[in-house]
Amino acid sequence: MSIELDNKAREILRKNDRGGYTIPTARLYPYQWNWDSAFTALGLSTFDRDRAWTELELLLEGQWANGMIPSIIFRSDDPDYFPGPSVWQTQTSATPPPLIPSTGISQPPILASVALALVESGGADDLQRSSQLIDKMLSWHRWYQTERTSAAASVVATVHPWETGRDNCPDWELGLSTMTIDPRLEPYVRKDTEHANPEQRPSKEQYDKYLSIVKYGRESGWDQRALTDTGPFLMADPGIHFILLRANRDLLKLAQRLNLSEQSAELEKYIELGVQGSDYFWNETIGAFTARNIVSGEYSNGFSNASALCFYADAGTETQRIKTIENMQRIADKVDYMMPSWDPDAEKFDPQRYWCGPIWPQMNFIISTGLDEQGHNSMAEDIRRDMALLIEKSGFYECFNPFSGEGCIGADFSWTAAIWLAWASPSHQKMAA
C-alpha cells in the first residue's frame, strides 16, 4: 500500500509539472503558487534534487524589486482561473512592474525553511545552490519588516486573507466585517465554484470583499506601504508570524553555514523582533495565540491550526505552550483526525468548508515538526499517523474532513503528494529511522 502510494505521489508531482515549476492541481489552480511550490520542492527532493532546486529558483524568478514574492506567478493567462492577471494588473499598475505577471500580495514565507532542509539533507551541490538564493530570500524577509509592518502593532501585518494562505478562515471575519464592498467593483464571474463544490468554497459577499481589496491595491499602483497603512483590511496572522519567525531562524542557520556575517546580523535582529512580537497574539480568553484585528485590537475567537505553530517557531512562554497543548488535546478528543483548521467548538466551524474546519496536510506537517522538536513527541506522531491514514483512506486531496476523513476540494494535489513523500509515508519514516 505504502509503495503504491509513494509511486502515485511521484506520478502526481510529475503530472502537475509545467516545465520547472509545479501547479497545485489542474484546472482549479493552474499557476505557480508561492508556499505550495516550496512544500512541493520538499517532496521533489526525495527523488530529484535538481528538480527541487529548480522549483525554488523559478519561484524566485517571480520576486518583485521590493523583495516581495507574490502569492501566485502567472506565466500564462488561463481562462479557467479567476481572478487572473487581467484582474491584478500588476504589469500595468506597479512601479516598477514585476518581470513576470503575478498577484500583488504575498503568501506565508516557508521558502527559506525548505531551502535549509534541502541543504541539511544534501551535500556540497545543495549548499552551492542555496548560496545563489540566500540574498533573495533575505530581501523577502526584509520586505515584511519594511512594507508589511504596521506602526499600530509592531508585528507583521496582513492586508488580504489570501496573503495568509488560510484564505477563508473565520479568523478574517474580524477584518472583513468592518470593511465595505467597493460600490465601483466591476461585475465578475467566479471559476472556483465551477471546479469545486460551492458549499465548500467562500460566499459571494466574502468574494466581493476579497476583490475590493484587490481593486484598492491595483488603484494604489500596488504601493505596498499604502496597502499596509491605509488599505481596507489590516490584521495580524499567527500563521505568517510563526512561519516567518521560523524562516528567519532557518535562514540564519544557512547564512552561518555560508559564513555571511552581515546577513546573519540582520537576521538576528528580525528574530528578536519576532520573539518579542509573539505576545501580541496571546489571547488570554482562549489560552492560545490567535489572529487579531490590528485596527481595533480585537482578538479572533477560535483556535486555528495556525495557533498550533508556536512550537514550530520555538515561541511563547512555558505557560502559553501548556495552554496551547491543552487546547489541542481538547480538539483531539472531539475529532476523528487531527488537526482541523478551525476550532470545532467555535462559531462558524464547518468540517467541509474551506479553512473553516478541514485538515490541511502542509499545516499538519509543520505543526507536527514543531511539536516533535519541542518534546511533544506523541502528539506529533499522532498528527503524522492521522495524515497517513487520511491519504491512505481518501487519496491525495487538498484537504480532509476531520470527522469522516473524506477528501475535500482539489484532487491529486501537489503539496499532499509532497508531504506524503517527505514526511507522512511509512516508507519515509522507515528511511528516517
Number of H helices, E strands in the chain: 18, 8
Q: How far apart are CA 185 and CA 216, in angstroms?
A: 10
The CA distance from 396 to 414, in Å, is 8
Single out the segment in contact with ligand GLC by CB under 6 A; choices: 31-39, 245-253, 289-297, 376-384. 31-39
Q: Which of 33, 39, 207, 312: binder of ligand GLC (CB under 6 A)?
A: 33
Instruction: Report, in Å, the least distance between residue 23 CB and ligand GLC.
Output: 9
Q: Out of 5, 10, 29, 425, name the contact with ligand GLC by CB under 6 A.
A: 29
Nearest Cα neighbor of 223 from 95, 64, 89, 98 is: 95
Question: Contacts with ligand GLC in 6-25 (CB under 6 A)?
Answer: 24
CB closer to ligand GLC out of 35 and 88 = 35
* CB-based contact 328:343 (threshold 8 Å): no
Please identify, using beta-carbon distances, which residue of 165 and 316 lies nearer to ligand GLC. 165
The answer to whether 165 contacts ligand GLC (rule: CB under 6 A) is yes
3-state secondary structure 34-61: HHHHHHHHHHHCCCCHHHHHHHHHHHHH
Q: How far apart are CA 362 and CA 119, in angstroms?
A: 20
Nearer to ligand GLC, 118 or 356 (CB): 356
**Judged by CB under 6 A, does residue 36 bind ligand GLC?**
yes
Q: Which region, judged by CB under 6 A, interacts with ligand GLC, from 2-10, 30-38, 125-133, 177-185?
A: 30-38
d(CA 359, CA 368): 13
Annotation says 398 is catalytic: yes
Out of 167, 208, 268, 298, the only residue in the binding site for ligand GLC (CB under 6 A) is: 167
- Closest approach of ligand GLC to the CB of residue 380, in Å: 22
Residue 259 Cβ vs ligand GLC, minimum distance, rounded to whole Å: 34
CA torsion, points 419, 422, 426, 430, in degrees to nearest 10? -160
CB of 120 to ligand GLC, least distance (A): 25
Residue 29 or 144: which CB sits closer to ligand GLC?
Answer: 29
Smallest distance, Å, CB 75 to ligand GLC?
15
At 265, list the grid cell.
Answer: 546580523
DSSP symbols for 327-396: HHHHHHHH-SSS-BSB-TTSTT--TTSTTSS-B-HHHHHHHHHHHHHTT-HHHHHHHHHHHHHHHHHH-S
Q: What residues are labeled active site?
A: 167, 398
Positions touching ligand GLC (CB under 6 A) are 24, 29, 33, 35-36, 165, 167
